[in-house]
Amino acid sequence: MNQGTMKKKDNVIELRGRLDGRQRNRLKRLLNMLYTPRELSEEVGFNLQQVYRVYIPLGCPHERDSRGHIWINGSEFYDWYLDTYSKVILEENEAFCLTCKRAVEMVDVKRQRKNGLVYEECMCQVCGRKIAKIVDRMK
C-alpha cells in the first residue's frame, strides 16, 4: 500500500492491482481464448505475480488443467476486471466486503490503531467476514 491507494476524502476504495490507462488499453486487446498467467501478464503488461497474489484471490475467473496449471479466458478477465475495479463509492457507515464484493453497512464498529493507521473494523452483516476501513492516519 502506498499513498496513492488511499483516497479517504471522497470515500473511494482503491483495490490493489488496479491498471493504469496504458494497461487498460491493452486489456481491450485480449481475445476470447485461454491464456496462461504469463501470457496474460505479458499481453497487458503487469507483473506475473499480480495474477497469483491479487487477481486470483479476488475471484478472477480461471480454470485449472489436469496438471494444475491455471488458464484465464481473456474476455472473461476483461469483463471481471471492469466489474471488480469500477469505482466503489462508500457512504460514511459503509465498508467494502471482499467476499460479497460490494459495499455493506458497518454495524458494531470497533475503532483500532495499527501501523500508523486509524481504522474501523466490524463483521460483515451478510457473510460474517471481518472488514475494515481506514479512517485516518496518525501524524
Which residues lie near Zn ion (CB under 5 A)?
A: 97, 99-100, 124, 126-127, 129
List the grid coordinates of 27: 486489456
Sequential DSSP letters for 94-112 = EEEETTTTEEEE--S-EEE
Please say which residue, 107 or 126, places its beta carbon nearer to Zn ion.
126
Least distance from Zn ion to the Cβ atom of residue 96, Å: 9
Q: What are phi and psi of 125, to 5 degrees?
A: -70, -15
Least distance from Zn ion to the Cβ atom of residue 109, Å: 15
Please say which residue, 5 or 99, places its beta carbon nearer to Zn ion.
99
Q: How is the beta sheet containing 6-7 ordered, strand by strand?
A: 6-7, 12-13, 88-89
Please say which residue, 49 or 93, places its beta carbon nearer to Zn ion.
93
